[in-house]
Structure formats: structure tokens, C-alpha cells
Amino acid sequence: MPDVIGYGQAVMDLCMTFDQRPGVNEAAFATELSWQYGGTVPTGLCATRILSGCSCGMVTAYGGSVGQFIIQDLVRHGIDVSHAIERPEQTSRLTVVLSYEGSRSPCGLPHMLTDLQPEEIDPAYLDGAKYLYTHKYLPGHIQAAKIAHEKGIKVVLDGDNYGQGTPSLLPYVDYCIISEKFYHDMYHQEGSIETNLTNLRSLCAAGAVVILTQGEKGLTGLDDDGFFHLEAFKVDVVDTAGCGDVFHGAFIAGLLRGMDNKTCARYASGCSAIKATRIGCRAGIPTHEVLMHFLETGEIDYTEIDQRIAYYSKMPTIINP
């Protein structure tokens, strides 16, 4: 059974980078194009797999030819998809991600897949797992987190957005890593970060770790040893798509390598910084060796990363087994 099991939506991304934001009614030509793949948990899980080498499994719904491409890329990363659920009459999402001047604009069709349902969660698949990784607050994801919690499996939440079901999920969460959007939606800019993170921790599982990621402002965390703050790494940003996702995946990889929480956070921050220097969600994920070299020296070895950039620059095709 996998060491880490992810539950979440997987998408296909067509990434395009521009020198500047296109104006109204103005023609613009991309400086770089890349056919990649996204989705909060699938991308994070790819980072966990690349950085730790541990076994990972992805539970997601998919459909259509886009779904086939998505599943194929997960398999390419060595991720078990035996419990992915195909919906033949539906189709997975294709998102166009426009990046310019260090920012991004994801443009996609409305949700076209029925999300994972509670009855589709197989408790036996979780047996032996060390971590469950999720990002949604819908019934199927809450059910998976509840089962994991009861089995003693640590639950990692990518709190990208605060949703109506959040209060039902939090009691099962052991690692609550949230974005500024989640933070502001929950606390509406009232109270201090220390006060609010203390409150958030009280809503999670006993002994939970909570971390607020703040982009170029770094991060603030809280665990049994108290608060800690880390500055962000300074890099030449090309594309921020997937940075939060790989942060979470790298944090899990750090846990699997036996790092403490603050070291995991620095490890994850470095991974996210490296990814930001290349287009797309996944191609810029470094190996453990590349990441450690960056943390020690500030230098990035792009040899393997740019091989993946070249791979994703080509139009994808279905590879028959």
C-alpha cells in the first residue's frame, strides 16, 4: 500500500508565459508554451514522489481524453492510480494558465466532473499509509479524512480556499497548511496572526501543526514548540503556478525524511522557490539532491529540470501500454 494517499481533483494545464500582461483587444504572443498537469493534490503528490521516492497513490475522478492524459502523467511519475475512478460520460478539466510579470491567470471551463463521493472511498486502501493528503471540504474528502484519522494516519490539508465544509474537516487535520486567501476568508483581517493561528490549531486534531504561507513574505507556523517564521527565498520568478501545491508535497517529503516541522517548512519553501523559476506546475520540481544543493549554496542545477521542460513542450499523445 502507498505511504502517502492523495484525494483531489486533477486537471490538465496549457501554460503560456508572456513578457507582459496583454492589453484589451491587443494581440499577444507567448514566449513559452508548455503542456503540463495540475490540480492541488496531484501536483503536490508528484513533488512528494520526486523528493522522497516513497510510494504514493492518487484517488481522483477523471474522464475523457483529457482524463487519460492526466492519468498517464501520474503513472509517469510512479504514482499508483489503481483507485482512480473513471467517469466515462464526463470529462476532466483543461485549464489555460497565462503567466506574466510574476503573476498568473488560470482560465478554465466550469467543473465538469462529479466529485468523489463518500461511498467511493475504500477504507482498505488506506491501510498501512502514513499520510493522507487532501484539499477539499466536500463529503467524500471529509469521509476519507475521518477514516484516516480513525486509523491513526496523519492528515495533511492544503488549505488553499476556505469552504462551507471546512469546520467539519478540521478536527481530522494534523498538518493544516493554509494560504493567505484561506486565512483572510476565515478571519476577515481581524485579530493578529498569532491569535488566529492559535485558534485555528484548537480546531484541528490534537497537537496539530498550522502554517500560514504568505508568498514573498515567507511563512508563519505554530507547533508544540511555539511560533516560527521563515523568510521567502529570493529567485527570478517565471511562473507561480503550482508553487503552493509543491510546497505541501515537499513538506510531506520532509516529514517522510524525518525532518522537524521548521526544517520541513524551509525544505518546502526552497522547493517552491525553485519551481517558480520555470513554467508550469510540475516541470520545475527539483530532486532532493538539487533542492539540498540550493538550500546550502543558493545555486540551482537545472540539468534535469530543463529536460522535463523540454518533455512538456511537446503536444501530449496517449501512450498505449
Over residues 18-51, the pLDDT tens digits come to 888 878 888 888 888 899 999 999 999 999 999 9
Three-state SS for 18? strand
Non-local (6+) Cβ contacts of 131 within 8 A are 3, 4, 5, 153, 154, 155, 156, 252, 255, 256
Of the candidates 153, 162, 135, 130, which has an alpha carbon nearest to the alpha carbon of residue 242? 135
pLDDT (0 to 100) of residue 99: 80
d(CA 233, CA 106): 24
List, edge to edge, every strand of the sheet that includes 226-230: 56-59, 4-7, 131-134, 154-159, 175-178, 209-213, 219-223, 226-230
CA 287 to chain centre: 16
- Delimit the domains of the chain by residue range: 4-312
From the number of C-beta atoms within 10 Å of its C-beta (0-12, 13-18, 19+), residue 319 rates as exposed
Do 72 and 78 meet the contact criterion of CB atoms below 8 Å apart? no
- For position 106, what pLDDT does the model report? 80
Q: At residue 320, does pLDDT exceed 70? A: no
Amino acid identity of residue 40, one-letter, is: T
Using alpha carbons, list the distances in angstroms from residue 188 to 118, 142, 164, 180, 300: 31, 24, 15, 11, 38
Summarize pLDDT for 275-294 with one digit per residue, the tens: 999 998 999 999 999 999 99
User: Which of 74-88, 197-211, 233-247, 254-268 has the least mean pLDDT?
Assistant: 233-247
Model pTM score: 0.94
Q: What is d(CA 158, CA 247) in angstroms, rounded to the nearest whole number?
A: 9
For the chain, state the CA radius of gyration: 19
User: pLDDT digit string (tens) for 223-251?
Assistant: 999 999 999 999 998 888 899 999 999 99
Name the phi and psi angles at 69, rounded to 5.
-60, -40
What is residue 27's DSSP assignment? -
Q: What is the CATH number of domain 4-312?
A: 3.40.1190.20
| Tens-place pLDDT, residues 269-280 | 999 999 999 998
Give residue 88's identity as a one-letter amino acid code. Answer: P
pLDDT value at residue 107: 83
Grid cell of 154 as nine digits: 496523519
Q: ∠ CA 31-37-39 to the nearest 5 degrees?
A: 120
| pLDDT for position 111 | 65
* Cβ neighbours, 10 Å, residue 228: 15
Backbone angles phi, psi at 237, to 5 degrees: -80, 130
